Amino acid sequence: MESNQFSRFHEVYSEALSCYSAQMVDRVEPNTAFTSSPTKAVMCVAEETKLYQTESNQQQWVEVLVDCPGIQGLYTYYLPTDLIVNPGDIVSVPFGAQIIGGIAIRLCYTPPVDLELSRIRPIEDVITSGFFPQSYWQLLQQIAQYYCSDLMSVIRVALPPGLLGRSQRRIRLKLESIPPGAETFCSVVAGKILRLLQNQAEGDYSVNYLKNQIKGAIRGIRELNKRGWIESYLEPPRPIQAKLKTAVTLINDNFLLDLTSRQGEVLQILKNNGGEIWLTELIQLCRTTPATVKKLAQKGYVTLSEREILRKEQGIAQPQDIPKKLNQAQAKALASIQNLTGTAQILLHGVTGSGKTEVYLQAIAPILAAGKSALVLVPEIGLTPQLTDRFRARFGEQVCVYHSALSDGERYDTWRQMIQGEPQVVIGTRSAIFAPLPNLGLIVLDEEHDSSFKQTSPIPTYHARKVAQVRSQLENCPLILGSATPSLESWEQINHLPVENSEFYYLSLPERIQARSLPSIEIVDLREELNRGNRSIFSKSLQSALVQMKERGQQGILFIPRRGHSTFVSCRSCGYVVECPHCDVSLSYHYTHEGATPLLRCHYCNYVALQPKQCPECESPYLKFFGSGTQKVTQELNKLFPNLKCIRFDSDTTRTKGAHRQLLARFAAGEADILVGTQMLTKGLDVAGVTVVGVVAADGLLHRSDYRAGERAFQTLTQVAGRAGRGEETGRVIIQTYSPEHPVIKAVQEHDYVSFSNTELQQRAELNYPPYGNLILIKFSGVEEKQVQQTAEIVAERCINLLSSQTQILGPAPASIMRIARRYRWQILIKFATEEKEQLPDLNQLRSLCPQSVSMVIDVDPMNID
Ligand code: ADP
Ligand code: ZN
Ligand code: ZN
């Protein structure tokens, strides 16, 4: 019989269990109802007492997380006197007419106030004890509290849906423990169950079956369990079908004349991809058919093999890669990291291409060797394939990818595999910070400054860095924050260290690998360009750089900061701007291909309209397109340089699963000269052939009302510039702008992180903005304008009563885009000093003031306030 994952996990954890103490006792907070209303998050108080029912002699209630298809929530049950339950135990509970699995979350001495006691049902039994490490629940509770969220919402982010629902509870005999004549000294029901089990070949039945056969079976099962004659376990759901997938492997790379040119191309692409690839991927990559690939198999160039795949996302095995010999700065950084024991926070500040990833890899190797696991977080899925490949090349099958774009099945399988506790590296985006790795040795946040680590909605509005910090403390393991452009939060922390504080470390990699120089950065003043009569979106400099690049057979990147700078359509005669009927924003022009129907699209709600032939306002036929989106740039590029092949890389072209990977692979394989794209391009892309980076117009980044605009613009421009010159050839970066004198532009040009950050910090300090002051943004939205405004006013009123007079309450005010997707938006901004944080009341209580039809999101440490 296949060994069952739950019991294996149990074995790994038996040691941890022995010191496992129940600590989530809550004496104050009223409990939740039997209905699925969310439970309030309460900080747990660690206590050394075990929760033996008999000791306290007091009735206890248990909150159980029930999670089956269609039912998810926290429900309250009472604890029968003969059971001992600890938080984190897997229990079985009655739900309607069924018995289902659940996880015990908290024990309470007070019953829920709003629930009739007679309606509360008992926990049926404990199935597995200590399934989750105790620190895991502490993490979820602390995060719920910090982000003014209910526990259930945090659990929803952390656990995959339907975790227990598909498992079945079973009973099996422990033959060796059953004494002769056992039946004679147990109860009648127990005896009946014993006989049934003994008559089954493996002594194994589902609880449901036993209950159907024997009246009062549960009592009997519990008795047999107590006597140690049987054990109960959860049977993990069987994979519905083993999934098979076809891999294509190159077995002969001596390409002969028996190949058509098309077949030759396919083989070449296969070879460029390491000689092995999934059939489906190859077909997409080469735009070919299965028949072509089968022909290649017949000719003896490739083999096709069916492989069983776990539904965890995995690429093709990478060729084995060995640790690189570190340069001095890398070696110093690695040595410092390896010297750490217990919780610590390291800021690894390394310029782009300085070899941070190599340091992570070598820091992780000994952790795996010691039987522990590592968690590596990256900002966006677009860059995960490249990074994942590098980790796979080093650690092979021990690498596992986890992010919210996985299908439910993949998420579920990956998760089940993680909790078994085998040493592994989990690479993932934001939500992977909750990956339930039991034996965590290191957490890495790569590109820690990136705003995609912050969730803005739904609640909890957590930042993965904050969760990582809490986790590093709870699990007593180090946390590495890596970046070429650290967030001001992290920078401030390092700069104002009390000397004796040994939990924070600053490590720097000031040079690129092999002393390659950082790219030279040229600033082009677009106003002058226009004066000189150049009306193209490409300056003379950029044009000549592109020509030179092509001549030398190199590659380039064109970056368009899309936000706030997409193409909008306006009437030249009356100035009318075509707007979305549901949102207070203009529509963007979308060009797909030559001859396609011209469409206008809303980037907020995805509303699509035909482009009007004339102005809807004054009927003038003269409509003008402003701004440059990726489409327009690609179009202009094709016109100006028809021999440059380009790939568009933005949210339109990367919508389908795996599209990121394919586009990047094609670019890296030299299939195109230029990659044209938005924000996604700025991150982690490491293509040695790229020598030219052009920023089409930096202004969209510079002029924004948000107090973080400067910081973000500096980070984005520095990161995108850092894509150039990572190979042998030096890179060249051309930034076009109407504001060449802007301090951000100056700092980027001089690669001057330090003085830029220090100036920014000074300004933040003066205005009491983070990292000095703290912000909480309460956001309201709803269809009824009046109602949204009134709710915001009522909540603001309550805030004034709740919060100390030191706390600033700004608003309520309409959000800067007042309507999105027909919903009106209002907000309240709360600003307070760090010292006040401790005394802040639980703002989650404000939710009771909010009617059903208005949604309210509490955004703690918001990244955007406009
Ligand atoms: P970062 O993460 O700081 O941008 P990477 O780790 O991606 O830098 O390193 C940039 C390039 O240099 C990668 O191609 C990597 O393989 C290579 N590299 C890193 N460390 C070394 C080393 N010690 N010796 C040789 N090459 C290295
Ligand atoms: Zn008009
Ligand atoms: Zn819209």
Identify the burial level of 202 via C-beta atoms within 10 angstroms of its C-beta, where 0-12 means exposed, 13-18 middle and 19 or more buried. exposed
Same-domain check for residues 386 and 451: yes
Of 140, 158, 176, at which residue does a domain stop?
158
User: 369: pLDDT confidence band, cut at 50, 70 and 90?
Assistant: very high
Same-domain check for residues 34 and 93: yes
CATH of the domain at 132: 3.40.1440.60
Please calculate the CA angle 315-317-320 and round it to the nearest 5 degrees.
Answer: 135
Same-domain check for residues 559 and 666: yes
Domain annotation covers residue 653: yes
pLDDT at 85 over 80: yes
What is the per-residue pLDDT for 330?
A: 95
Cα-Cα-Cα-Cα torsion 364, 366, 370, 376, nearest 10 degrees, comes to 0
Tens digits of per-residue pLDDT, 712-725?
999 999 988 988 88
Tens digits of per-residue pLDDT, 774-802?
999 999 999 999 999 999 999 999 988 88
Q: What is the mean pLDDT of residues 719-733?
A: 86
Tens digits of per-residue pLDDT, 750-773?
989 998 999 999 988 888 889 988
- Please tell me if the CB atom of residue 119 comes closer than 6 angstroms to any atom of ligand 1: no
Q: What is the mean pLDDT of residues 548-574?
A: 77
- Please tell me if the CB atom of residue 513 comes closer than 6 angstroms to any atom of ligand 1: yes
In total, how many domains does the chain have? 7
Same-domain check for residues 540 and 675: yes
pLDDT at 382 over 80: no
Same-domain check for residues 290 and 361: no
User: 365: pLDDT confidence band, cut at 50, 70 and 90?
Assistant: very high
Domain annotation covers residue 505: no
Is 646 assigned to a binding site? Answer: no
Q: Which domain, by its residues, includes 605?
A: 566-627
Which of 355 and 726 is assigned the larger pLDDT?
A: 355
CATH of the domain at 376: 3.40.50.300
User: 704: pLDDT confidence band, cut at 50, 70 and 90?
Assistant: low
DSSP 8-state assignment for residue 41: P
Domain annotation covers residue 4: no
Is 580 assigned to a binding site? Answer: yes
CA distance 421 to 412: 15
Report the percentage of the chain scoring pLDDT > 70: 83
- Please tell me if the CB atom of residue 324 comes closer than 6 angstroms to any atom of ligand 1: yes
Verify cis geometry, omega within 30 degrees of 0, for the bond prior to 812.
Answer: yes
Same-domain check for residues 31 and 127: yes
Is 615 assigned to a binding site? Answer: yes
Task: Output the CA 584–ligand 3 centroid distance in Å.
Answer: 7
Same-domain check for residues 440 and 407: yes
Tens digits of per-residue pLDDT, 845-862?
888 888 989 999 999 999
CATH of the domain at 250: 1.10.10
Same-domain check for residues 793 and 681: no
- Please tell me if the CB atom of residue 719 comes closer than 6 angstroms to any atom of ligand 1: no
pLDDT at 25 over 60: no
* CA-to-CA dists, residue 62 to 34, 78, 595, 842, angstroms: 11, 6, 64, 23
Same-domain check for residues 608 and 635: no
What is the per-residue pLDDT for 163?
A: 59
Same-domain check for residues 342 and 467: yes
- Please tell me if the CB atom of residue 723 comes closer than 6 angstroms to any atom of ligand 1: no
CATH of the domain at 823: 3.30.70.600
**What tokens were used for 48?**
């050394």
Of 138, 158, 178, at which residue does a domain stop?
158
Tens digits of per-residue pLDDT, 609-632?
888 888 888 888 877 776 667 777
SS3 154: helix
User: 70: pLDDT confidence band, cut at 50, 70 and 90?
Assistant: low
- Please tell me if the CB atom of residue 349 comes closer than 6 angstroms to any atom of ligand 1: no
Domain annotation covers residue 318: no
Question: Hey, which of 402-406, 651-655, 776-780 has the most confident mean pLDDT?
Answer: 776-780
Of 253, 278, 309, at which residue does a domain stop?
309
CA distance 734 to 693: 6
pLDDT at 93 over 60: yes
Q: What is the mean pLDDT of residues 137-147?
A: 90
Closest ligand to Cα 578 = 2
Domain annotation covers residue 767: no
Domain annotation covers residue 451: yes
Tens digits of per-residue pLDDT, 154-208?
887 887 665 555 556 788 888 888 888 888 888 999 999 999 998 888 888 888 7
What is the per-residue pLDDT for 588?
A: 77
pLDDT at 345 over 60: yes
Domain annotation covers residue 26: yes
CA distance 460 to 857: 9
Same-domain check for residues 346 and 305: no
Same-domain check for residues 374 and 247: no
CA distance 31 to 77: 11
What is the per-residue pLDDT for 502?
A: 62
Task: Output the CA 352–ligand 1 centroid distance in Å.
Answer: 9
Residues whose CB is less than 8 angstroms from the CB of residue 37 and which lie 6 or more positions away in sequence, other chains included: none
Domain annotation covers residue 621: yes
Amino acid at the residue 261:
S
Tens digits of per-residue pLDDT, 288-323?
888 889 999 888 888 887 765 544 444 555 667 888
Which of 587 and 487 is assigned the larger pLDDT?
A: 487
Closest ligand to Cα 617 = 2
What is the per-residue pLDDT for 10?
A: 30
Is 605 assigned to a binding site? Answer: yes
